[in-house]
């Protein structure tokens, strides 16, 4: 065995047979690698689940906070337009929550007629607030045609 040459990746000798010692160590190494991979997969799955759960909980808290902040933001912005009459402003917000755009502008016209908001407030400022918060999505031009003050 003194002048045997090995070829490439499979550790075959020039005679074509496997070197028994190299085969044994290769099998041990493969078994160790599989065991390590399986352990990593299990721990990665557990960590992934924990991270995913934490992210979902954080997103729920953030979305609740954003919704609350959005509602407070709309109310705070609308208060001056309603002459600081919180009750009328909250009635208006409740009425327009699922209303069609034409119904919203009709309500605004009614509020102007009853002097709950001013005719100047109903043009640009009210449209900007409602549009910014997604409560009225039509254009300002449409708003002005329908409010017609």
| 59 half-sphere exposure, CB direction, 13 A CA radius | 6
pLDDT digits (tens, 9 = 90+) for 64-106: 655 655 556 899 999 999 999 999 999 999 999 889 999 999 9
Give the tokens for residue 22: 């190299």
Q: Which of 22, 3, 24, 2 is nearest to 11 (CA)?
A: 22
Give the tokens for residue 71: 């509602």
Global pTM exceeds 0.75: no
- Model confidence at 123, in pLDDT bands (50, 70, 90)? confident
Per the prediction, the chain carries an average pLDDT of 75
Using the structure block, give the residue that is written with the tokens 């699922």.
98
pLDDT digits (tens, 9 = 90+) for 81-90: 999 999 999 9
- At 12 the three-state DSSP class reads strand
- Model confidence at 13, in pLDDT bands (50, 70, 90)? very low
* Mean pLDDT along residues 4-24: 50
- At 94 the three-state DSSP class reads helix
What does DSSP say about strands 12-13 and 6-7: parallel, antiparallel, or unpaired? antiparallel
CB 122 within 8 A of CB 147: yes
């Amino acid at each position: 065995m003194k002048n045997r040459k090995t070829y490439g990746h499979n550790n075959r000798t020039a005679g074509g047979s496997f070197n028994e010692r190299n085969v044994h160590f290769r099998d041990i190494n493969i078994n160790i690698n599989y065991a390590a991979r399986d352990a990593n997969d299990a721990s990665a799955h557990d960590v992934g689940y924990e991270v995913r759960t934490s992210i979902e909980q954080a997103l729920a808290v953030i979305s609740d906070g954003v919704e609350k902040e959005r509602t407070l933001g709309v109310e705070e912005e609308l208060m001056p337009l309603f002459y600081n009459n919180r009750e009328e402003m909250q009635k208006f917000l409740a009425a327009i929550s699922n209303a069609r755009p034409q119904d919203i502008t009709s309500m605004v016209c009614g509020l102007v007629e009853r002097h709950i908001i001013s005719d100047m407030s109903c043009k640009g400022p009210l449209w900007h607030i409602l549009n910014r918060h997604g409560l009225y999505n039509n254009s300002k031009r449409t708003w002005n045609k329908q409010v017609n003050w």
